[in-house]
């Protein structure tokens, strides 16, 4: 996300004089998009690991809902700054930088490789078929 924000900053710098720096705007926009897609994929994987297993689906749903609401609200910010591309792009880059450093500042507990304590051992059954034992939640 930090790399995407830096590329967006380069695009904002080039947008000041877009006709003279057309190649800079195009290349930084392409790099921004590739870093952004990579960052969002990694963020989706990491976010799911932050929640305990029993509320993981709910936590991801809340995060997704808040993200969608923010996506709606950001259109009003875009509309307010549409005539000032430098301010618009730098505002977006600042928001992305803030989001990139938020996990470092918050220091949340990592739930990676935690056992599934929510499933009682009595509910686990073994079903045998074709000579292979298969675990099944009863």
pLDDT at 109 over 50: yes
Residue 120 pLDDT > 50, yes or no?
A: no
The number of angstroms, rounded, from the C-alpha of 64 to the middle of its chain's C-alpha atoms is 10
pTM to 2 decimal places: 0.55
Going by pLDDT thresholds of 50, 70 and 90, the confidence category of residue 65 is very high
Name the residue with higher pLDDT: 56 or 111: 56
What was the pLDDT predicted at 116?
57
Across residues 10-33, what is the average pLDDT? 75
Q: Which of 81, 71, 109, 94 is nearest to 1 (CA)?
A: 94
DSSP assignments along 24-52, one per residue: HHHHHHHHHHHHHHHHHHHHHHHHHHHS-
When pLDDT is averaged across residues 28-54 and rounded to a whole number, the result is 80
The answer to whether the beta carbons of residues 96 and 110 sit under 8 Å apart is: no
């Amino acid at each position: 996300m930090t790399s995407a924000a830096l590329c967006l900053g380069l695009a904002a710098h080039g947008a000041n004089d877009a006709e003279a720096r057309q190649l800079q705007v195009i290349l930084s926009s392409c790099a921004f998009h590739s870093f952004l897609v990579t960052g969002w994929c990694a963020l989706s994987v990491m976010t799911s690991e932050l929640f305990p297993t029993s509320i993981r689906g709910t936590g991801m749903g809340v995060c997704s809902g808040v993200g969608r609401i923010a996506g709606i609200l950001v259109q009003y910010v875009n509309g307010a700054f549409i005539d000032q591309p430098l301010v618009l792009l730098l505002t977006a880059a600042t928001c992305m930088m803030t989001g990139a450093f938020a996990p470092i500042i918050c220091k949340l507990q990592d739930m990676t490789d935690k056992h599934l304590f929510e499933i009682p051992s009595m509910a686990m059954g073994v079903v045998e078929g074709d000579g292979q034992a298969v675990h099944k939640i009863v």
